Chain A
Amino acid sequence: MEWGLDGAIVALLLGLAARILHTRDLFEATVLFIAFGLTLSLAWARLGAPDLALAEAALGAGVTGALLLNAYRRFADREEKAAPAVDIGSGEAACGAFPDASLRAPCDRVLRLRPILGAVLGILAAGFVVFLVTLPVRLPILPSMVADRLAETAVSNPVTAVLLDFRAYDTLLEMTILVVAMVAVWSMDREAPGLVRLAEEGPGEDAVLEALINLVVPVAGLTALYLVWAGASASGGAFQGGALLAGVGVLLLAAGIVHPVTAQTALVRGLGVMGLGVLVLVGLVVMVWTGSFLAYPEGTAYVLVLLAEGALVVSIATILLELFVDVPAVPEKDPTLEWVDPTGDPLGRSSDADGIPTSDSEEDG
């Protein structure tokens, strides 16, 4: 029970969040968000959840941070190209201040509601605290249930057992969400992969980058594989290992050593779907023996969990890498069109005299 340390971590979390929400600088927000993810990882460690600490550092700080860093510049680029000398700022600063109407931030009604919003949130916060303080203390049931049946799963890390055996269905749905994210991103309009290369000259010409890759890639790759293997008995698992592998991939991509992992290729799509496919297949096949979806028969749990984890790691690494490449791959804005929308229709569809919108396909840019 260490109030000082825990209090400091919570204060840091809330302070970072408040600063991120207050700042107007995109880069500051991105970097502080990465710091926030790492602090949250500390919090998980303090709460006795090392698997979560690993996952938060790898995914929450690492992958999300990489996504944000790769994408934030495109928010800034557009604003600067359009109005280089003017600070867009928040709604209240920009309301009505710009000659060019297309840059005017919405004069939000919300701004006028701010005192009401603050009061509502304050009441909610007070009610929240009262509720939390008066929670009845209950004896935990689930840890003992998990501990009793742990021997059946052939893994000794209870979190891995829950993820891949007791609640393997949740993991299946989680993989579905990742696949849906990949499909959603590849369905958006894309241009060439918008990854900014760190080394302009190419591999072999930037000594620092080359040294970094020579050192980091083997170690990180091995650590990732170890994390997956060790997840059976200690902290680790498929998600942490997959995220670390994605990080290795990002480094290789940034140096130009591998081709951009975009979802335009069938290989990437196949690898991304493979984890989900293996889980579904395993679930259906075991139905022949046990009659329930994903209910592993006696003695096969180890092999099936291993199989599932292997497929999951490949899929997770591929999907995370694909998201990193494809999310910022936005086509250039058509320079001949600056939308006029007198009817208030955001898609720019024209309307006839009654104000009834008609669709006009050649306006789409």
Chain B
Amino acid sequence: MNTTTTRTASPAVPLQAVDTFTAAGDTFTVTKTVTAEDPYLPGHFPGNPIYPGVFYLETVRQAIEKWHCHQPATSTITITMIRHARFTRPARAGDTITVTGHCTRTGDETVDVDAIIDIDHSAGGTLQLTLTLQR
């Protein structure tokens, strides 16, 4: 693929927030192993790298990109509403985050996601988001 074409079409993304993805119908499961070398983590925080809470939202967004795999190449999935998000413990370098989400289509281009965060088999939080396909 032509690099210039890739760059001009690509959205701005803070990091790769999904390592593995599986889906069955309207439910998806993704994992992400936190590393100290992930973008932005050296500054969050020096000597104590913690996966930023906002990056769980990015994990869900990238999961929906994969779940909504028939989207046109020139469109993007964007978060348009955070109904509720709760983070109950931090994920540190070396931890594996698992996010399991249930998707409900609310229109041709919108989907609500209810998700649960697991950090190495301990409860990490919950997310309720609305995402929109933007052409």
Q: Do A and B bind each other?
A: no
